[in-house]
Structure 1
Amino acid sequence: MDLESIRREYLKGGLRRESLHDDPRIQFERWMDNAIHSEVPDPTAMTLATVSASGEPTQRIVLLKHTDDKGFVFYTNYSSRKALDIAANNQVSLHFPWHFMERQVKINGFAHKVPVAESLAYFLSRPHDSQVAAWSSEQSHAVSSRQLLETQFARMKAKFKQGQVPLPDFWGGFRIEPYRYEFWQGGAMRLHDRFEYVKEKTSWRIQRLAP
């Protein structure tokens, strides 16, 4: 398989310091808004990288469900591999791969569980089948067959046929509190534009990085 010849130029625009907002969250929201309105597939999909207690790194795609001045929120099963990694080492990395726009955003931060009330509010906003699915899967644990998983889902769907589906005590959100951002814009001749924001007490230090 010849992969070496696969290449293209990145010509959709540059990035200059004067165009960046001093607050990286606002800069991120600008780019997210651009991605949504440009109809980038799955604009809220982000790679979450964690490291286990033994030092093994793992990555997976999760969906960003909320962002504010406190950080970035996603939801998961608290017995999942990602949650166990975070329990051992709560330093994580997020990556938004907006290839269509020739943009990337990387974020480093500390993950903390969100309050139960916040998890409940989001859980109740989910479609009924998604609520049932949270009860049906021991996320990241071995399962003998697809049929077993579907049987468990059917059992839980029957159990919660009437009334409100309760929030599982093993399910909820994490908020990533960022201390570093990087905004990447593709450039011609591989001279990509990269700007890093680093948290310094109550402000952010901004610097250009070599591509």
Structure 2
Amino acid sequence: MSIEKESLENLRQDYRSSSLTEKDVSKNPINQFTKWFKEALNANLYEPNAMTLATTSTDRKPSARIVLLKGADDKGFVFYSNYLSAKGKEIARNPVVALVFYWPELERQVRIEGTVEKLSKEESDRYFHSRPKGSQIAAVVSPQSQQITDRDQLEKDWTEMEEKFENKTIPKPAYWGGYIVKPQVIEFWQGRESRMHDRIVYKKADKNTWKIVRLAP
């Protein structure tokens, strides 16, 4: 079974909802991201904090998956994961990553390139214990990205952990915690009519300065 080539070639959407100009954007890309993110929240989009995280494998092949943004400020963009997962191992070998947010209802996307490092143990502990207990248990019992025999064993381990820590605090495992992506490039993409999209890019010039440029669509 395959998708007909013609049906794919004829799939297209014209974008007409908004525009983006150099005079309209903030001088600071984090402020601009915050503005757009709040607009995504106000539009009641489903998981507006979902973002694609791209890393590279040991043989220099690209690797991507969806993770959830859990913080954003002038320091960078925060997410949490298993340090021993595929992405964790790839980050350890090459701490240069890319992020992509896509909000189709607003005809917008944001691309981020930068370096990534671990958050402090204290910050990871704080967030871990703020999560629902079921999510905490899952982080402990799941050997993320590793091959497992079947789901039954995973669920058995989850149930045993739930019983073991009933009315008790679950200690955060050492192999789980947060990352922060420190951006060097941030691009804001606004869909426009006839594929004449707006692309405004911020490039880090120095510690406190960003250069703003426009790219052709």
Query: After superposition, where does 1:196-211 map in structure 2 within 5 Å?
Result: 196-201=201-206, 202-211=208-217
TM-score using structure 2 length: 0.96
Deviations 1:143-191 (A, max 9, x none): 1111111111112112211311111111000000000000000000100
Does residue 31 of structure 1 match 2:36? yes
Does residue 16 of structure 1 match 2:21? yes
Contact 1:180/1:196 (8 A) holds in 2: yes
Letter in 2 for 1:140: S
Distance, in Å, in 2 between the alignment partners of 1:14 and 1:187 is 7
Letter in 2 for 1:78: Y
2:8 to 3, 11, 20: 3
Q: How much identity, in percent, do the aligned residues show?
A: 45
Question: After alignment, is 161-170 or 79-88 more displaced?
Answer: 161-170
Offset at 1:53? 2.1
Contact 1:182/1:194 (8 A) holds in 2: yes
2:70 to 60, 65, 69: 65
1:119 corresponding residue in structure 2: 124
Question: After alignment, is 38-47 or 158-167 more displaced?
Answer: 158-167
Q: Gaps (5+ residues) in structure 2?
A: none
Contact 1:74/1:174 (8 A) holds in 2: yes
Query: After superposition, where does 1:15-164 map in structure 2 within 5 Å?
Result: 15-164=20-169
Question: After alignment, is 47-56 or 182-191 more displaced?
Answer: 47-56
The RMSD of aligned alpha carbons is: 0.7
TM-score using structure 1 length: 0.98
Distance, in Å, in 2 between the alignment partners of 1:178 and 1:7 is 31
Q: Gaps (5+ residues) in structure 1?
A: none
Aligned length: 211
Deviations 1:119-157 (A, max 9, x none): 001011001111111111000000111111111111211
